[in-house]
Amino acid sequence: MEIARRDLNRYYNKAIKQYTLPLSFGEAMLIVDAPNGYIMTPEGPHLIFFTIQESITNLGKKWDVDRKKLLQKFVDLTLQQ
C-alpha cells in the first residue's frame, strides 16, 4: 500500500508540474470570460484561441492583462497543456 501511495504521489506531482498553466489570476479570468456565451462544438477547443484573441483587447483592460504576454503564453503552450 505504501508503494502505491508513493508512486501515485510522484505521478500526481509530475502531472501537476507538466499540465499547470503559467497564468496570472487576471489571465485566467480573461480566458474564462472570453468564451462567455460561446457555443462549444466539436471544433470548439481548436477555435477557442481565436475567441480569446478577438476579445482580448476589451477584456485585457477589464482584467488588467498584457495582451502581448498572454498571446505569447498561448503560442508557447505544449500540446498537453
Model pLDDT for residues 12-65, shown as the tens digit of each residue = 888 777 777 788 999 989 888 888 877 777 777 777 777 778 788 888 889 999
Only one residue has cell 483587447, namely: 57
pLDDT for residue 70 is more than 80:
yes
pLDDT for residue 80 is more than 70:
no
pTM for the complete prediction? 0.63
Q: How far apart are CA 2 and CA 47, in angstroms?
A: 44
The pLDDT assigned to 39 comes to 77
The one-letter code for the residue type at 71 is L
Q: Between residues 48 and 67, which one has the greater pLDDT?
A: 67
The answer to whether residues 40 and 75 touch, using CB atoms and an 8 Å cutoff, is no
Dihedral angle over CA of 44, 19, 74, 58, nearest 10: 70
